[in-house]
Each structure stands twice: as C-alpha cells, then as structure tokens.
C-alpha cells in the first residue's frame, strides 16, 4: 500500500490524542518511579531498567542506548514501520479524521481503511451470530459438550464468546449476504464462506462446529477456530489467512492474558484452545495458546514484551505429536534460546494428560498444576532427557547416538559457564554411575566440541570487526543543525518541509542549545496567526522578543538572526538539496554515535565471561555500521559546499 502525504492537521491531532504510556505499555512492562515510568529498554538488551517514559512530556528516553522520542517514533522503531503507516494506525485507533496533502488519494486511503473496518464488523457480527446460535435449540449439543464434558462455567463460555456454527451449508451465508446485505466478496475475504467447486454459489466455511473466536491484542475478533462435534476431519479448523488474521503472528487469549503475564512475570504456552480456557477458568490467567502451527519467533517476541524475567513455559501435550511440536517450537526459536534471551522451561504433564484434563481430574487442580510449573525442567535438560527415551546406554549403537546428540546440543551453547555445567551433566549420564569414567567422558566431550563461537580467527576478525570511520561528530552535527535552523528562520516557504522531514525521519536536534531554540521556534509559530508574511519580520521580531531572556543561547540566537551566508540562494531546488544533505548528516551522526557506543560496550565485555551481551553489542555495532554504509552514497552535508 502506497501511503499519501498526511496533512499536518491530522498529524497534530494524532499527537494530541496519543498517550505514550498507553502505547509503550503494550510492549514494555512499566513501573511508576517518581514522575516517570521505567522499564527494560526494548531497543537493547539490559538487566537494569534505564528506559523511562514521561507522560506529562509525552516522551520516552533510554539512558543506556540513547533512543528517545515521542509515541509515533516509538511505534516506528518497535514495529519497523513508516511514519505514514504509524500515523494512519493511530488515527484509526483514536478516531481522528484523515486529511492528506493529496486530496485525490484521500478517497483511496479511506476506502482501504473502510475495507478493514468492514471486515472487523463482519467478523464481529459473525461472532455474535455463533454465540446466539449456541444458546438456541440447534446449539444444544454444542452447549452440552462445553458444560458436561469440558465442565466450563457459563461465565467462562461468555467470557470467551464461545459459539456454535449451524450444520446447514448456507446458514451464515444467508444471514450475512441475504439478510444483512454484506457484499459476497467481503464475506469471502473474511474467510467465512467459500465458492463452490462445481456450479455457482457459496457455502459456509464452518458447519456444525463449536466456535472459538480468535482476537487480536486489542480484543477485536479477527478469526475463528472451530472444533468438530462429529467425526468430521479435521478435528480443529482455523480461519484461513485474511487481511486481519496472520496465524504465525497471533496467539489465542493474549488479549486476556497480557496483564497477568506482567503480574506473574511469566507466561504459559499451551497447544489447544480448551487448555488455555481451562487454565484461565482455574485462575491461571497468564496462559496463551498457539494456533496449530509451529510456534514462531514472532510469537515469542510478542510474549517477551510482557515479562521482565523472560520466563516462558511450554506445556504441550505429552504424546508423540506433542513432543514433536515442542521440539519443532524449540528449533523455531533456537537463536533466542541459545543466546540466553529467553528463560524457557518445558512441562510435560505425567500420564500424558493435557492441562485441561489434569486440572479437572485433581482436587485443587490449580495448585497442583502450579507445582508442576515450578518443577518443570529447563529446555536443555528436557531435550537431553528426550535423547535417552528408549535408549540402552549399554548398547554401543544407542550410546553413540546419545553421545552425538549431546555434542550437537553442547556445541550450540555460547555461554562458557553453561557449557561447562552441561558437559559435566552429560558426562554423568554417559558414565552410568561409574565415577572412574566421569573424567574420561568429560574430556571426550570437550575434545569433540568445536571451538567456542565467541573465539574468532585472525582472518575472521579482519572480516568481521570493522573499524569505525573517523568523523568529527560534534562539528558536523553543529554545522548541520545550525544550517537547518537558519533556513527555518529565514526561509518561511521551507518551514513545513523541514518540520515534516524531521518528523518523518524521527530526528531531533541533539545539541542542547539547538534543541532549546527549536522548541522555542515552534512555540512562537503557534502564537502567530500568519507566520508566512512576505517579509518574515513578524517572526524575526517575535524571536528577538521571546528569546531575549534565554541567556544560555543568546549568542547562538544572535548568530542565527544575522544570517547572510546563503541569502543568494533563492533557488528553491538548491535549498532543498542543502536541507536533505543536512538531514542525512544528522542521521549519520546519530548512527555513528550509537555505533561507537556499541563498539565501546562489546570491547569492554569478556566474550568468555559474558558471551550473550558481548554478541549483542557486537551485532548492534555491525548493524549500525551497515546502516551508515547505506547512507554513504547519498550526498551528505559535509560533501556539499553550501557557500560556493
């Protein structure tokens, strides 16, 4: 989707309505501290909170990595989205009327937004339809299944908006298309009906199924899971992918679990809808469910936003399918696990029961389940135990299989202490109680392990460690920011352009005196009815009057007001080049500062003692360096002779 230029009025109204605490708390666990809220920074790895949110100023700042800005910039950074995309999403969220600088595109964008709103409306109405059907005589079997077999309370059924899809082939179709007059194409796009393979017409996607609404993080219904009440296959059927629903990025019940995940500082992931619902009913509300596909890294990262300690417990079924699902999930998120970014435990309930069965078959089932959670083994212990299933270590081939499996796992560990611990742990298993063999097996395992990942050869170091460019950061920054302020004051026709580009690139004036002057300039503009007068004298006069008392920047203001250097450049294209070059320089300087910060960090950290943080800052350094290199082909401010 190509986004139009958004009118400044819409941008300003969004800024007025946005609550930065509300926005940030969807991604960061925040705790009140004085006038601020603090939490762990989502932009770099840290153990002590240095990320602050100030509601009165509607700003965030991290004292660790230097990231800062308003709510719009936060969403741009956290979601890697464009300025326009974020503003459009916020306009929709806060019900701000959309205005664009390209009126001919307004209808197109409104149509796109309207399409999504209609899909939300259709899916919500369908959910109500299913709920109503469950309470009617045609839903008697489904309701009986929930109450008698699943033993759910009426309030639980209502809380999760459970419903029933009637058995007729066109029941929902007739309701939505013929009765409610929704376009067939939209109902199909919502994944609720399908075209017949032979002949004309459509049929309902879900028929004679118990219906479980799937909701987004804001609690809006976006899709459905349907459980068969007969022998029809598949037993569980999910909605297809739609503009509202992405299976690999959605977690069932996260909308209801997120606050509890923050409170308990851990999250339980189960396989099935009914496991999640049963745990919620039992008071274990920090539970979500995957949607039948492999648990993804994207889903894990969503969960980690709500837990400071990054504790995640996988409680999949203990049968072969469940074990395979657990192993597949571990593989999907392997990079995060082995680097220590998640504290993962694996719970397999004894006797092969799922969470729902376990809780309902025990007195004080909730308490007993919590005990199992506390005793659940760490993921690597669990994986090692899986290697031993059906293996007889007294048989040479079995012994070799287990030992090689252990070596493969141990090789992935980057933390030297963790690796040493598990070498001994595995050696004890292989020694089978014979203390005389323990030292031998420890030595054998160490011999078979490849060199630690954190140790690089001289050749590799030359390729990996890129020496930062020498750059006089302060001079370049001062020069670029000064010229932007000068143009802003003396060329009113370029003010909106400078303001918009700073906003779009999420750039701020870094030098304190420039930042003070910039905010004062915006304040003066708000108090002047016509800032675009022909001779610009009113604006200049207001600057002189309002900044006279700002002793800390008085000399700088005087320099800006006595601007003469580029008055000869009345050519707007020339000024556009200068503005763009200055902005590129600001962007480069900001990246260079962060790059140097990360370089200093990883060089001070021992790759052996703290490999996780070492690898993190090294990766951040290389990533920042790459971004700087991508800006190199662009004409920077330092390469532009603005006075010639």
* pLDDT tens by residue, 408-448: 999 888 777 788 899 999 999 999 988 888 989 999 998 88
Alpha-carbon span 631 to 507, nearest angstrom: 15
Domain boundary among 36, 69, 99: 99
Domain boundary among 53, 75, 99: 99
**Which residue from 328, 250, 262 is spatially nearest to 289, judged by alpha carbons?**
250
The two beta strands, 51-54 and 36-39, are: antiparallel
Exposure string of 557-577, with b = 16+ CB inside 10 Å and e = fewer, is beebeebeebeebeeeeebee
Alpha-carbon span 277 to 183, nearest angstrom: 34
Residue 582 and residue 622 in one domain: yes
Alpha-carbon span 427 to 436, nearest angstrom: 11
State pTM to two decimals: 0.60
Interacting residues of 604 by C-beta distance below 8 A, sequence separation 6+ = none
The enclosing domain of 41 has a CATH number of 3.90.580.10
Query: What is the reported pLDDT for 615?
Result: 72
**Which residue from 455, 370, 152, 448 is spatially nearest to 274, judged by alpha carbons?**
152
Are 295 and 330 within 8 A, CB to CB? no
- Reported for 27-30, long-range contacts at CB under 8 A and 24+ positions apart, including other chains, are 27/78, 27/305, 28/53, 28/305, 29/262, 29/265, 29/305, 29/306, 29/307, 29/308
Ranges of H-type helices in 456-546: 458-464, 473-490, 495-504, 512-527, 537-546
Query: What is the reported pLDDT for 145?
Result: 95
Query: What is the reported pLDDT for 188?
Result: 96
Q: Is 208 within a domain?
A: yes
Q: Is 460 within a domain?
A: no
Q: Is 459 within a domain?
A: no
**Which residue from 594, 584, 590, 586 is spatially nearest to 622, judged by alpha carbons?**
594
pLDDT tens sequence across 221-273: 999 999 999 877 889 999 999 989 988 889 999 999 988 998 888 999 998 89
Residue 499 and residue 422 in one domain: no
**Residue span of the structural domain in which 224 resides:** 106-245
Residue 408 and residue 260 in one domain: no
Residue 485 and residue 542 in one domain: yes
Q: Is 1 within a domain?
A: no
Ranges of H-type helices in 171-237: 171-173, 184-189
The enclosing domain of 188 has a CATH number of 3.90.980.10
Question: In whole angstroms, how large is the CA radius of gyration of the chain?
Answer: 30
Residue 530 and residue 614 in one domain: yes
Query: What is the reported pLDDT for 581?
Result: 85
Instruction: Name 614's bridge partners.
Output: none
Question: What does pLDDT average to in each consecutive run of 10 residues of the chain (644 residues)?
Answer: 66 84 86 80 79 83 80 83 81 79 61 77 96 95 95 95 95 94 94 91 96 91 94 89 90 92 91 93 95 82 81 89 89 83 89 84 89 93 94 92 93 83 93 88 87 38 28 68 88 84 71 78 67 61 75 76 58 77 82 77 76 69 78 58 45
Residue 179 and residue 275 in one domain: no
The enclosing domain of 290 has a CATH number of 3.40.1360.10
Residue 193 and residue 300 in one domain: no
Residue 427 and residue 489 in one domain: no
Q: Please count the structural domains in the chain.
A: 5
**Which residue from 322, 441, 300, 309 is spatially nearest to 382, judged by alpha carbons?**
322
**Which residue from 182, 192, 185 is spatially nearest to 213, judged by alpha carbons?**
192
Tell me how far the alpha carbon of residue 585 is from its chain's centroid. Answer: 29
**Which residue from 593, 584, 625 is spatially nearest to 479, judged by alpha carbons?**
584
Residue 221 and residue 260 in one domain: no
Query: What is the reported pLDDT for 608?
Result: 73
Q: Which two tokens stand for residue 20?
A: 């930065």
Residue 84 and residue 132 in one domain: no
Residue 49 and residue 25 in one domain: yes
Interacting residues of 291 by C-beta distance below 8 A, sequence separation 6+ = 214, 225, 238, 247, 250, 251, 252
Alpha-carbon span 630 to 634, nearest angstrom: 8
Residue 435 and residue 423 in one domain: yes
Domain boundary among 228, 245, 262: 245
Place of tokens 């660790």: 64
Query: What is the reported pLDDT for 459?
Result: 33
């Amino acid at each position: 989707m190509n986004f139009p230029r958004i009118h400044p009025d819409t941008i300003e109204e969004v800024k007025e309505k946005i609550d930065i605490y509300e926005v940030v708390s969807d991604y960061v666990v925040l705790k009140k501290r004085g006038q601020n809220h603090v939490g762990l920074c989502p932009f770099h790895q840290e153990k002590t909170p240095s990320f602050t949110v100030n509601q009165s100023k509607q700003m965030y700042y991290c004292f660790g990595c230097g990231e800062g800005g308003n709510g719009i910039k936060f969403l741009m950074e956290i979601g890697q989205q464009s300025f326009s995309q974020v503003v459009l999403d916020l306009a929709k969220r806060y019900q701000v009327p959309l205005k664009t600088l390209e009126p001919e595109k307004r209808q197109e964008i409104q149509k796109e937004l309207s399409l999504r709103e209609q899909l939300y409306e259709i899916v919500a109405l369908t959910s109500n339809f299913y709920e109503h059907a469950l309470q009617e005589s045609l839903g008697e079997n489904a309701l009986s299944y929930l109450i008698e077999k699943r033993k759910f309370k009426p309030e639980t059924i209502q809380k999760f908006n459970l419903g029933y899809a009637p058995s007729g082939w066109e029941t929902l179709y007739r309701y939505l298309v013929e009765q409610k007059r929704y376009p067939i194409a939209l109902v199909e796009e919502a994944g609720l009906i399908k075209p017949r393979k032979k002949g004309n017409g459509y049929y309902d996607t879900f028929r004679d199924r118990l219906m479980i609404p799937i909701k987004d993080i804001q609690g809006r219904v976006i899709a459905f899971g349907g459980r068969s009440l007969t022998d029809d296959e598949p037993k569980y059927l999910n909605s297809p992918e739609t503009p509202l629903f992405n299976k690999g990025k959605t977690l069932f019940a996260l909308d209801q679990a997120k606050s509890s995940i923050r409170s308990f500082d851990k999250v339980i992931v189960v396989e099935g809808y009914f496991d999640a619902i049963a745990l919620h009913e039992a008071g274990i509300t920090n539970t979500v469910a995957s949607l039948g596909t492999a648990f993804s890294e994207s889903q894990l990262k969503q969960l980690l936003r709500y837990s400071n300690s990054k504790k995640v417990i996988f409680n999949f079924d203990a049968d072969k399918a469940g074990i395979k699902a657990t192993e597949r999930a571990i593989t999907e998120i392997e990079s995060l696990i082995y680097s220590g970014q998640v504290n993962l435990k694996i719970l397999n309930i004894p006797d092969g029961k799922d969470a729902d069965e376990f809780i309902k078959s025990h007195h004080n089932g909730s308490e007993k389940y919590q005990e199992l959670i506390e005793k659940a083994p760490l993921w690597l212990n669990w994986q090692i135990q899986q290697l031993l299933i059906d293996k007889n270590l007294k048989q040479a081939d079995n012994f070799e299989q287990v030992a090689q499996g252990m070596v493969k796992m141990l090789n992935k560990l980057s933390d030297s202490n963790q690796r040493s611990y598990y070498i001994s742990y595995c050696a004890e298993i292989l020694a089978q109680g014979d203390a005389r063999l323990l030292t031998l097996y420890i030595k054998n395992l160490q011999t078979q392990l490849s060199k630690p990942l954190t140790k690089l050869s001289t050749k590799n170091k030359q390729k990996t460690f890129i020496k930062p460019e020498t750059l006089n950061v302060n001079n370049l920054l001062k020069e670029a920011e000064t010229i932007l302020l000068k143009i802003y004051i003396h060329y009113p026709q370029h003010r909106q352009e400078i303001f918009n580009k700073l906003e779009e690139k999420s750039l701020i004036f870094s030098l304190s005196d420039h930042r003070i002057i910039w905010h004062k300039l915006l304040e003066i503009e708000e108090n002047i009815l016509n800032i675009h007068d022909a001779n610009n004298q009113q604006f200049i006069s207001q600057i002189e009057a309002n900044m006279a008392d700002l002793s800390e920047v008085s000399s700088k203001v005087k320099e800006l007001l006595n601007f003469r250097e580029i008055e000869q450049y009345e050519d707007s294209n020339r000024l556009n080049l200068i503005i763009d070059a200055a902005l590129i320089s600001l962007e480069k300087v900001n990246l260079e500062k962060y790059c140097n910060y990360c370089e200093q960090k990883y060089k001070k950290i021992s790759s052996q003692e703290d490999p996780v943080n070492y690898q993190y800052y090294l990766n951040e350094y290389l990533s920042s360096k790459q971004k700087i290199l991508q800006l190199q082909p662009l004409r920077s401010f330092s390469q532009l002779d603005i006075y010639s």
